[in-house]
Amino acid sequence: MTNAHPLEAAASPFEVARTAASDIARLTGVERHDIAVTLGSGWGRAAELIGETVAEIPATEVTGFSKPALEGHVGTIRSLRTAGGRHVLVIGARTHYYEGHGVRRVVHSVRTAAATGATTMVLTNGAGGIRETWRAGQPVLISDHINLTADSPLEGATFIDLTDLYSARLREIARSVDPSLDEGVYCQFRGPHYETPAEVRMARAIGGDIVGMSTALEAIAAREAGMEVLGFSLITNLAAGISPDPLSHEEVIDAGRQAEPVISGLLAKVIERL
């Protein structure tokens, strides 16, 4: 007997997402959410500032969610209420593509967020910066992406338009909070190794500004679900070869910790205006 993961066994990943959404409604007591936020490295403390916590549940109690593979990623799902009375679903447990469990597991949180009623998906991450003018600890908006995973969350002949995937309207709102916010094109690599300097040069040559291991596949699934997407990267380090120093996971986590108070405040203010 195999003990298949619900997403592997299911005919439709959307059905599993609907079950997960009803788990969330039952466990949080909140029937519908308006906005969903995925917190990547460095963004963890934003939840406290976004609104009051209505409920916090371990992600593992929700159908289809897995334990986070990584230290620095919080494995809880929270339901918050903003000062304006809107319900925000905060996803602290991201499943990364490099974990090798397939794309359904990677985008399950996004599909679940859509099934809870959320029409806006805010995706945040920690990433490497390709532009020399950027510094570790700086948040940037994602303006577009290049998906280098050679994979897609879409199944079958599902043709989805990705023009304006990272909503220009939402980026404008973010810049109304912080006019100094720069923006760039996010390249999703498979990981979990960091890129080689040659790969970073390639990313730059094809139009990339940011290198990371998440977000693009999630953004595609969010668009498929009809959500408006806002993406933020915290530049935790200059990408390999841009910085003369070798990369380390500790450096990434440290940069996140140091930037956390500032970027968390920024994110909370932006969400209040969405």
Binding site for ligand HPA (CB under 6 A): 126-128, 194-195, 211-213, 236-237, 239, 247, 252
Q: Least distance in Å: CB of 26 to ligand HPA?
A: 35
Instruction: Decide if 195 is catalytic.
Output: yes
Q: Least distance in Å: CB of 193 to ligand HPA?
A: 9
Q: Least distance in Å: CB of 263 to ligand HPA?
A: 14
Q: Least distance in Å: CB of 195 to ligand HPA?
A: 6
Q: Least distance in Å: CB of 188 to ligand HPA?
A: 9
SS (H, E, C) the chain: CCCCCHHHHCCCHHHHHHHHHHHHHHHHCCCCCCEEEECCCCCCCHHHHHCEEEEEEEHHHCCCCCCCCCCCCCCEEEEEECCCCCEEEEECCCCCHHHCCCHHHHHHHHHHHHHCCCCEEEEEEEEEECCCCCCCCEEEEEEEEEECCCCCCCCCCCCCCCCCCECHHHHHHHHHHCCCCEEEEEEECCCCCCCCHHHHHHHHHCCCCEEECCCHHHHHHHHHCCCEEEEEEEEEEECECCECCCCCHHHHHHHHHHHHHHHHHHHHHHHHHC
Measured from the CB atom, is 194 or 232 closer to ligand HPA? 194
Measured from the CB atom, is 144 or 199 closer to ligand HPA? 199
What is the b/e burial string over 187-226, where b = at least 16 CB atoms within 10 angstroms of the residue's CB? bbbebeebbeeebbbebbeeebbbbbbbbbbbbbbbbbbe
CA dihedral sign, ordered 47, 53, 54, 57: positive
Measured from the CB atom, is 221 or 247 closer to ligand HPA? 247
Measured from the CB atom, is 91 or 252 closer to ligand HPA? 252
Measured from the CB atom, is 234 or 274 closer to ligand HPA? 234
Q: Least distance in Å: CB of 189 to ligand HPA?
A: 6
Measured from the CB atom, is 64 or 126 closer to ligand HPA? 126
**Residue whose CB is nearest to ligand HPA in the complex, by number:** 128
The catalytic position among 195, 218, 224, 260 is 195
Instruction: Point out the residues that are catalytic.
Output: 195
